[in-house]
Amino acid sequence: MSVSPRWLASLTLILVLSGFSFFSFGQFPTEKFVISDIIFKGNKKTKDHIIQRELTFRKGDTLVMEELIDALEKSTENLQRLPLFHFVKTQVDDTLSNEGVTVTIDVSERWYTWLWPIFEISDRNFNAWLENGDLTRLSYGLFLQQENFRGRLEKLHIRAKMGYQQQISLFYEAPYLNRSKTLGAGLQISAARERETGYITESDKLVYYRADNFLRRTNEIAVFARYRPQIHISHTLKLQLTQYNFSDTLINLNPDYSGIATKKTNIPVVGYLMKADFRDRRGYPLKGWYADAEIDGFGLTQKAEYNFASLRASARVHIPLTSRWNTAFGVATKLSTSGLKPWFLNQALGYKRDYVRGYEYNVIDGDHFWLVKTNVRYAIVPENILKVNRIKAGQFNTIPYAFYLGLFADAGQVWPGQENTSNSLPGKILAGTGIGLDFVTYYDKVLRAEFSMNSEGKAGFFLHFMAAI
């Protein structure tokens, strides 16, 4: 029985995709495969065209073996970055004829609609709240989250929060408005009022004031348009208008809080954001790189009370060293122009992702900062899957999990805009190092437990709920 080169090349492709490579690519480097059909499976809600948008190949393409394998690997990573699927599998079936091969994309969909109870602390992060542990500073409410509205990757978020801090907000994003799926748009509307707010930084910590009446009221509307000509790169233009109402108490506590004499102000913002995302996944990347740059102009009219601009840029690189060892590097910086700035918009290190580990209790205000983060991690439990047969819903009964033990070292510095003699950290080079254990599971959930020591000689144990880099 004779075996055709095409049949053997096709068998090689199938074996390689299955993880069993008995043949070398070099045997059939020029063997071409025509993609005769693409079949989508498992997407009970997600539309086919949403999946097709992330693929690097199309029906009718002709690829040599190595190109086809590379296209399938990259397409799988593109789909895994979407907040839509737990798992993505690809399969190639050879028809053993001149008609080509059929590619099957089999996805495991997540649960898309959530109604979360809100129990929210008023501090910048969990560790800052844990330092005081005041349960009276808790807000409560409901958060409706729909990540795949109408099966078109549309996002719909509705939040209603009462209690200590109050807020109601609506967020909607349609990622694809045109036939080529390069243009998207969104809208955000919110109203909030706060009985307590951080009003000044003293001794390198955010100082809060609590009142029976509301100290600050905020009404905001924002619209944005997104252009995504390629799979990995997007450009977003934002127009935002925020109205602030400050109480007399807040202005008396810190006149620089608003920097103006009136209790009411409107701040228009024009912003541009560029993102490049070449990571293998969203929640806890192990390979690839990410970069973004955002510039925001505040005021920018002759009658505006504030006129300044800020630029924030960041980059992260994830490098697999072996099957279990991984290293990651992250850098971030912020630059601001001169001009009148309200105190609450002049934030630097200590907020969101921008902090040096070991300084979780501190905030450092200023016009400019730089930040460097490094990690070396070892997978003590590589990504594994727990199957819970008692749970019938496919969105919940297959649970991925992994544990990583890591060493880290961070450094950063802030250039202060306004001098405050009670703060010692602005202008200093800050450094922190330590050891941590990361737990990663489905729905992009990460729990990090870290022990760190900073350059002030202070040590602590900290919890975080997102990847460090």
In a domain, 312, yes or no: no
Together in a domain, 210 and 100: no
Together in a domain, 355 and 429: yes
213 secondary structure, DSSP code: S
Together in a domain, 72 and 177: no
List CB contacts of 246: < 8 A, sequence separation 6 or more.
215, 216, 257, 258, 263, 264
Beta carbons of 288 and 279 less than 8 angstroms apart: yes
In a domain, 139, yes or no: yes
**126, pLDDT greater than 80:** no
Angle formed at CA 461 by CA 455 and CA 465, multiple of 5 degrees:
110
Together in a domain, 220 and 360: no
Mean pLDDT of 399-424: 90
Together in a domain, 201 and 240: yes
Question: Per-residue confidence at 379, pLDDT binned at 50, 70, 90?
Answer: very high
Together in a domain, 21 and 81: yes
- The top-scoring range by mean pLDDT among 5-14, 120-129, 244-253 is 244-253
Together in a domain, 218 and 257: yes
Question: Per-residue confidence at 15, pLDDT binned at 50, 70, 90?
Answer: very low
Write down the pLDDT at residue 3. Answer: 46
**Quick one: what percent of the chain has pLDDT higher than 70?**
88
List CB contacts of 35: < 8 A, sequence separation 6 or more.
57, 58, 59, 60, 61, 62, 63, 68, 100, 101, 102, 103
* Residue that terminates a domain, selected from 91, 109, 127: 109
104 vs 101: CA distance, rounded Å:
10
Mean pLDDT of 232-261: 93
Query: Does residue 62 sit in helix, strand or coil?
Result: strand
Q: Which residues of 112-130 are buried (b: 16+ CB within 10 A; e: fewer)?
A: beeeeebebbbbbbebbbe
137 vs 104: CA distance, rounded Å:
52
Together in a domain, 91 and 28: yes
Give residue 229's Cα distance to chain centre.
20
CATH number, domain with residue 23: 3.10.20.310
**Structure tokens of 258?**
């608003």
* Residue that terminates a domain, selected from 86, 109, 132: 109
**254, pLDDT greater than 60:** yes
Together in a domain, 389 and 344: yes
**Model pLDDT for residues 190-215, shown as the tens digit of each residue:** 999 998 888 999 999 999 888 888 99
Q: 352: how many CB neighbours lie within 10 A of its CB?
A: 9
469 vs 329: CA distance, rounded Å:
7
User: Whose structure tokens read 């208008």?
Assistant: 241
Q: Give the pairing of strands 364-365 and 368-387.
A: unpaired
Closest to 81 in 3D by CA, of 59, 45, 54: 54
Q: How many structural domains does the chain have?
A: 3
In a domain, 461, yes or no: yes
Q: Which residues of 137-149 are buried (b: 16+ CB within 10 A; e: fewer)?
A: bebebebeebbbb
Together in a domain, 121 and 268: yes
Mean pLDDT of 86-110: 83
Write down the pLDDT at residue 373. Answer: 98
Give DSSP secondary structure letters for 330-398: EEEEEEE-SS---GGG-EEETBTTB--TT-TT--EE-SEEEEEEEEEEEEEEEEEEEE-TT---TTTSE
128/360: higher pLDDT: 360
Q: What is the residue-averaged pLDDT of the chain?
A: 88
Q: Give the pairing of strands 429-441 and 445-454.
A: antiparallel
In a domain, 21, yes or no: yes
In a domain, 184, yes or no: yes
**25, pLDDT greater than 50:** no
112 vs 427: CA distance, rounded Å:
45
In a domain, 98, yes or no: yes
List CB contacts of 317: < 8 A, sequence separation 6 or more.
288, 289, 328, 329, 330
Write out the residue range of the structural domain in which residue 101 sits.
5-109
In a domain, 341, yes or no: yes
Question: Per-residue confidence at 461, pLDDT binned at 50, 70, 90?
Answer: very high
Kindly report the pTM of this predicted structure. 0.85
**Model pLDDT for residues 64-88, shown as the tens digit of each residue:** 888 999 999 999 999 999 999 988 9
231/304: higher pLDDT: 231
Write down the pLDDT at residue 125. Answer: 62
Write down the pLDDT at residue 4. Answer: 52
Write down the pLDDT at residue 338. Answer: 87
Question: Per-residue confidence at 7, pLDDT binned at 50, 70, 90?
Answer: very low
Together in a domain, 98 and 127: no
